[in-house]
Amino acid sequence: MFDDLRDLYQEVILDHGKNPRNFRRPDAFTAEAVGNNPMCGDALVVYLSVDDNATITDVSFQGQGCAISVASASMMTELLKGCPVDRADEIYQAFHNICTGEGTPEDILAEFDEEIAERLHMLSGVREFPMRVKCATLAWHTMDAAVRGEQEISTE
């Protein structure tokens, strides 16, 4: 019925939305932050474990939200596990630029390896849905806040 919606709601995204990965509160973590989207009331918590070498050894989340925000959070946890904090920040910036239309996804993703580029590209459909960008970026902003030691952020 609405073909262009398939750019946003790809099968992989629907799957992550329904069956989010790393959807848990771990027993131990080094940082956490709460992310709120006041427009829709969605809220999620991101838990990070960062070791002495500034590498993210574990990342997980809990909360509720739409398919886009849950899928984005789920895919983010898969991408960032084992990632140095600096690299995580680069991925975060790249994803943010993709969502807000700062350059083409192809240009932005050129420097990343195939797996990361493919995942971020899947989420890039949200560019065409400006009202939904905040859904896609909520978990990422929250992760960034946790890294920086902030405890709560809002996407407004």
Partner 1 sequence: MSTVTAIAGDNSALAFDVERIRQDFPILKQQVYGKPLVYLDSGASAQKPQAVIDAMTAGMDTYYANVHRGVHAMSQRSTEAYEEARTKIASFLNARSTNEIVFTRNATEGINLVANSYGRTFLQAGDEIIISHMEHHANIVPWQLLRDNLGIVLRVVPVDDDGNLDMAAYADMLGPKTKLVGMTHVSNSLGTIVAIKDVIRMAHDAGAVVLVDGCQAVPHTAVDVQDLDADFYVFAPHKLYGPTGVGVLYGKEDILNDMPPWQGGGDMIMSVSFDKTTYQKAPLRFEAGTPPIVEAIGLGAAIDYVSAIGMENIAAHEEGLLHYATDRLSRIEGLRIIGQAQEKAAIVSFVLDCAHPHDIGTIVDRGGVAIRTGHHCAQPVMDRYGVAATARASFGLYNTRDEVDVLADAIDAVREMFA
- Where on the chain is the footprint of partner 1 (CB under 8 A)? 1-2, 4-5, 8-9, 14, 18, 39-43, 64-69, 129, 131-132, 135
DSSP string, 87-140: HHHHHHHHHHHHHHTSS-HHHHHTTS-HHHHHHHHHHGGGGG-GGGHHHHHHHH
Comparison of 41 and 149: residue with beta carbon closer to partner 1: 41
Comparison of 12 and 66: residue with beta carbon closer to partner 1: 66
Comparison of 39 and 54: residue with beta carbon closer to partner 1: 39
Pair of tokens at residue 112: 């990343």
Answer yes or no: are the C-beta atoms of 61 and 8 closer than 8 Å: no
* Least distance in angstroms from the C-beta of 59 to partner 1: 23
Pair of tokens at residue 150: 């902030």
* Least distance in angstroms from the C-beta of 40 to partner 1: 4
